[in-house]
Structure 1
Amino acid sequence: MDKREIEYKIVELKDEYLQLQHNLDKLESVKGNLHPLEKRLAAIEEELSSLNTMLRDM
């Protein structure tokens, strides 16, 4: 991946993360099943960390 692709992927993941947080808030208010969303949020955090590391090392 080149720098531009990494930066684009970071923006996409941040957008997805914000959407999932919003959905999580909605589910919390109706006592829905939060586990799948929490799991995806954790995966996004790991991926963002990895991409940011790649970007710094370029």
Structure 2
Amino acid sequence: MSLENQLAELKYDYVRLQGDLEKRESLDLDTSALVRQLKDIENEIRNVRAQMQD
């Protein structure tokens, strides 16, 4: 998979998880797992962008 495709997939997953997070917050449900997943995706996006600049 190319870095561009990997970045696009990560961004898609990030947006999807943000929507899930908002739904859980509106229902006063636990969001810690989703927040952790979002942070992991942010790190992956950062790593892919760094690789693209090399």
Identity %: 31
Q: Distance in 1 between matches of 2:53 and 2:19?
A: 29
- Consecutive unaligned residues of structure 1, counting only runs of 5 or more, are none
Q: Distance in 2 between matches of 1:55 and 1:18?
A: 21
The structure 1 segments of at least 4 consecutive aligned residues displaced by more than 2 Å after TM superposition are none
How many residues matched? 54
Normalised TM-score (structure 1):
0.89
- Consecutive unaligned residues of structure 2, counting only runs of 5 or more, are none
Normalised TM-score (structure 2):
0.96
Which protein has the larger Cα radius of gyration, Structure 1 or Structure 2? 1
Cα offset for 1:17?
0.3
- 1:7-51 CA distances to partner (integer Å, 9 max, x unpaired)? 100000000000000000000000111001000000000000000
- Whether 1:56 aligns to 2:46 is no
Q: Distance in 1 between matches of 2:49 and 2:40?
A: 14
Indicate the RMSD between aligned Cα atoms, in angstroms: 0.9
Q: Distance in 2 between matches of 1:9 and 1:33?
A: 29
